[in-house]
Amino acid sequence: MEGDRVPNLRQMKAQQKVLADFGDFALRSDTLDEVLIEACRLVSEAIDCDFSKILEMEESGEAALVKAGVGWDPDQNVIGRRLKFSERSSETYSLKLGKPVVSPNIQDEKRFEFAFFLRDHGVVSLINVPIFLPGGRAYGLLQVDSREQRDFSAADIEFLRTYAAILGPVIDRLHKAHSLRHALETNKRLLLELQHRVKNHIGIITSMVRLRTRHAKTEDARAELAGVAERIETLRLVNEKLYNAKDAGTLPMKSFLSELMENLCVLHDAATHKVRLECNIADIHLGPEAAVPMGLIANEFVTNSLKYAFDGTGGTIFVSLEVANNRLRLSLRDDGKGLPADPQVAPKGSGTGIRLIDGLATQLGAEAQWPASMNGAVLCLEMEHTA
């Protein structure tokens, strides 16, 4: 009797180790096929059988797909095979019963019909164990097959039931993880497509405005339309930065503002007027709700400076964005001839821009400040920043 107990204890320890090994593997893997293959390998090792496989039921319940398995002849394409269930299949019976079903010898079995490839592989004994997902919905079956006639012991059956009970939640988790990844990838693709379409539409609008600018009859109309085109260009740059960003929800302010300023200088041919640009912009990322109005404010100030501040003599435009004590501070200034004592009394053609700056500052929860300066125009805005 002592001799009978030792092998059983060894087998139980081996099976407990398999359960632990599989649980550890399932926690580390996020690929369903990989987990199912390892599940088959370990269960064959624990039960000491020739073959094992996992079947995933179709929604109709009339057939199942062999999702994974070990021991099967690769030339017979067992993995990936669709198995049609009949009323007399052992799989159907096990699923209806909701319990393991053993067939000690399929040659003598009168209750069930079996797939032809089982006999081709020399299978004699097999056991079906249903796998249920959380909530009680059937996923499919774990099957273990042997070339030798075998009466699976009560300990074997309980081990396989426990194994299947662990498999169910693991499969459910990986299915949900896959669905979430797929949804994320789909949303990302749709967002990129939307941003690409917006970019194209903005380009069309800009071209239309510039075409209308060339046909405008007055200088004032041309100036206003040119200003509109520049603002649209700012929005185009925002969209481009979002399109290329790793995180589509934020813009890198350092590259965004720097590129915006450089584009304006090129657009106004500032190099011929010897206007230099100096930027001190924090390496931070902001959402579009803050970055867009900030970019438009910078666009209005720099455009106004390029047009009116230097009278062709050249100078410097300074742009600064700093973060301190959870506050953002945007500073813009030039060393040109400066604004009138009342900045609302704007140079010809720039009044719309200054009124727009006030409105955009309000969107940011800030107030446009125009400190008096002995040398040029200065604009400062300070607002709350939450990282």
- Position 343 scores a pLDDT of 52
Mean pLDDT on 338-346: 60
Confidence of residue 5 (pLDDT cuts 50, 70, 90): very low
Q: In angstroms, rounded to a whole number, what is the distance separating the alpha carbons of residues 159 and 142?
A: 12
Confidence of residue 340 (pLDDT cuts 50, 70, 90): low
- Position 1 scores a pLDDT of 41
Asked whether residue 387 carries a pLDDT value surpassing 70, the answer given is no
> By mean pLDDT, which of 26-35, 108-117, 142-151, 344-353 is the weakest?
344-353
> By mean pLDDT, which of 14-28, 179-193, 354-368 is the weakest?
179-193
Mean pLDDT on 188-203: 74
* Strand-strand pairing, 315-324 and 378-384: unpaired
Q: In angstroms, rounded to a whole number, what is the distance separating the alpha carbons of residues 34 and 141?
A: 17
- pLDDT tens for 112-171 read 989 888 988 999 999 999 999 998 999 999 999 999 998 888 889 999 999 999 999 999
- pLDDT tens for 238-258 read 777 766 666 657 888 998 899
Domains and CATH numbers, the chain: 2-179 (3.30.450.40), 250-387 (3.30.565.10)
- pLDDT tens for 285-336 read 998 888 888 988 998 898 888 888 888 788 899 999 999 888 999 999 999 8
What is the DSSP annotation of 155-170? HHHHHHHHHHHHHHHH
Closest CA to 238 of 186, 290, 187: 290
Calculate Rg over the CA atoms of the chain.
36
Asked whether residue 3 carries a pLDDT value surpassing 60, the answer given is no
Confidence of residue 80 (pLDDT cuts 50, 70, 90): very high
Confidence of residue 29 (pLDDT cuts 50, 70, 90): confident
Whole-structure pTM value? 0.55
Asked whether residue 79 carries a pLDDT value surpassing 90, the answer given is yes
Mean pLDDT on 335-358: 67
Q: What residues are paired with 142 via a beta bridge? A: 54, 129
- Position 348 scores a pLDDT of 46
- Position 242 scores a pLDDT of 67
**Which of 52-56, 203-207, 301-305 has the largest mean confidence?**
52-56
Average pLDDT over the chain reads 84
Which letter, b or e, does each residue of 147-176 get, where b requires 16 or more Cβ atoms within 10 Å of its Cβ?
eeebebeeebbebbeebbebbbebbbbbee
Asked whether residue 4 carries a pLDDT value surpassing 60, the answer given is no
- Position 142 scores a pLDDT of 95
Closest CA to 58 of 139, 117, 123: 139
Confidence of residue 6 (pLDDT cuts 50, 70, 90): very low
Mean pLDDT on 217-229: 78
> By mean pLDDT, which of 54-58, 78-82, 130-134, 206-210 is the weakest?
206-210
Of residues 330 and 75, more confidence is placed in 330
Residue 198 contacts residue 185 (beta carbons within 8 Å): no
Q: In angstroms, rounded to a whole number, what is the distance separating the alpha carbons of residues 305 and 291?
A: 21
Asked whether residue 71 carries a pLDDT value surpassing 90, the answer given is yes
- Position 194 scores a pLDDT of 73
- Position 190 scores a pLDDT of 75
- Position 299 scores a pLDDT of 87
